[in-house]
Amino acid sequence: MSSQASFRLKKPEEIDKMARAGVILGECLEHLARMVRPGLTTLDLDREADTFIRDHGCVPGFLGYNDFPNSLCVSVNDEVVHGIPGPRVIEDGDLVSLDCGLILDGWWADSGLSVGVGEISGEARKLLAVTEEALRRGLDAARAGNRIGDIGHAVQSYVEAQGFGVVRQYVGHGIGRNMHEPPQVPNYGSAGTGNTLKPGYVLAIEPMVTAGSPDVKVLADQWTVVTVDKRLSCYFEHTVAVTEEGPRVLTRRPSEVAKAA
């Protein structure tokens, strides 16, 4: 899901506007995560996301983006990202990744998470924990004076030390009036390389982690990305602003806000 727009630093008042969009998206994703259960279809989740977004005065950003047919990406087990919702029934033991974007007053928010359904394997539990921690480390590296490579290095070094793989073909990105703006934000790389981060950068950081090989391919639907070895994949994403005071995560879910309080 790419297409680059021009880049400029965001003003504090613009970041505040993006934060308002982010609050709604965080609420939406937490609502969806609590819904996930055996017997639900992936299309059920998409319809709920679309309704939630519209009911909160926002526009479903994914719907029609580069002709994507839905308002939510739902990726299950070996599906990494960009899964198209449909009649697939969620089963006990599945690992389900939800990726969603919305627009409020012209400003984007982009975020995602993965959830285990019922009794999941020990490998799936570890993959969830490692990927979420990798995102936390990537967000913490989004500080003024650091470089883009510091974010990727924080993610990659942690993930690979845990014995998992980092997808290379898909990366995070700048975000603002458009979903995809410069710079690209890889989940791998060398510390001290790439653009120097300044207050006003707003980035979508999204580690995509695999239980086995990091190699992926796109299915015949031209959207769904899967692991080549059919091993599990996991994904977490937040939109974060670089500020003078440090990283400001704009898409935190209510439970994350409560935990930080």
Domain of residue 45, CATH code: 3.90.230.10
Q: In the prediction, which pLDDT does 184 show? A: 97
Entry field: residues in the chain: 261
Q: In the prediction, which pLDDT does 5 show? A: 63
Range of 67's domain?
12-260
Q: Is residue 1 part of a domain?
A: no
Q: In the prediction, which pLDDT does 4 show? A: 53
Q: Is residue 231 part of a domain?
A: yes
Q: In the prediction, which pLDDT does 224 show? A: 98
Task: Work out how many domains the chain is built from and give that number.
Answer: 1
Q: Is residue 6 part of a domain?
A: no
Sign, CA dihedral 147-257-96-63, equals negative
pTM (predicted TM-score) = 0.96
Euclidean distance between CA atoms 104 and 155, whole angstroms? 30
Sign, CA dihedral 205-135-213-216, equals negative
Report residues of the chain scoring pLDDT below 50.
none
Euclidean distance between CA atoms 133 and 255, whole angstroms? 16
Q: Is residue 5 part of a domain?
A: no
